[in-house]
Amino acid sequence: MKINWGTYVVIAFALFISFILYFVLKVQSDSKYDNDLVIEEYYKHDVHFQDEMVRIQNAHDLKSKPVITVDANGIMIVFPADFEPDAVKGTVALYRPSNKKFDFQVPLSFTDSASLFIPKNKLVGGEWDINMEWKYKGKSYLTKEEIYIK
């Protein structure tokens, strides 16, 4: 029996589609390929986007901004000297883009100086997103920054 080139094209397409479907089903059914959303309630979060932009603009408009530095011991967040440490209330959320199991939040609580230290033993090496939300004298602020931990 002789097969023409059209039959070969149909067989090639069928094999290619089977190959693609195999990998799609494998990724969807295997738990080691985590394909969850970064934020659980994505649409609820998206509704408050304009409010988030206002808080980011408030932080951008500050004359002296909080500084986030990374060193061998961990992450240091230092608020400017003109901030009253008792008046700053908020949280620092650390997000690991590659694995949400490492995400955690730390409250902004200061003792004598307006600085917060997050030790390196709480962090896994790699890229981290830091979202710092705080209120100071009735005004809300939000800063977002990416850092890399070695």
How many Cα atoms are found within 13 Å in the side-chain-facing hemisphere of 51?
A: 8
Same domain assignment for residues 142 and 105: yes
**Whether the Cβ atoms of residue 133 and residue 142 lie closer than 8 Å to each other:** yes
Residue 57 CA, chain-centre distance (Å), reads: 19
**Residue 112 per-residue DSSP state:** S
CA-based torsion, 49, 54, 55, 60: positive or negative: positive
> Considering the chain, what percentage of its residues have pLDDT values greater than 90?
43
Average pLDDT over the chain, rounded to an integer = 87
Same domain, 62 and 125: yes
99 shares its domain with 129: yes
On the 0-12 / 13-18 / 19+ scale of CB atoms within 10 A, 132 is buried
Q: State whether 145 and 77 are in the same domain.
A: yes
Distance from C-alpha of 10 to C-alpha of 4, rounded to nearest angstrom: 11
Task: List the alpha helices (DSSP H) in the chain.
Answer: 5-29, 42-47, 49-60
Residue 57 identity (one-letter amino acid): Q
Q: Are residues 31 and 47 in the same domain?
A: no
71 lies in the same domain as 132: yes
**Domain match, 4 and 73 both:** no
**Number of domains present in the structure of the chain:** 2
| pLDDT at 16 exceeding the cut of 90 | yes
Higher pLDDT, 129 or 30: 129
Tell me what pLDDT residue 72 has.
87
According to the model, what pLDDT value does residue 91 have? 94
**Residues 64-123 pLDDT 10s:** 899 999 988 899 999 888 888 888 899 999 998 888 888 999 998 876 678 888 898 888
Looking at the fold, whether 96 and 139 belong to one and the same domain comes out as yes
Residues 19 and 46 reside in one and the same domain: no
Q: Which domain holds residue 81?
A: 42-149
- The whole-model pTM stands at 0.69
End-to-end CA distance of the chain: 64
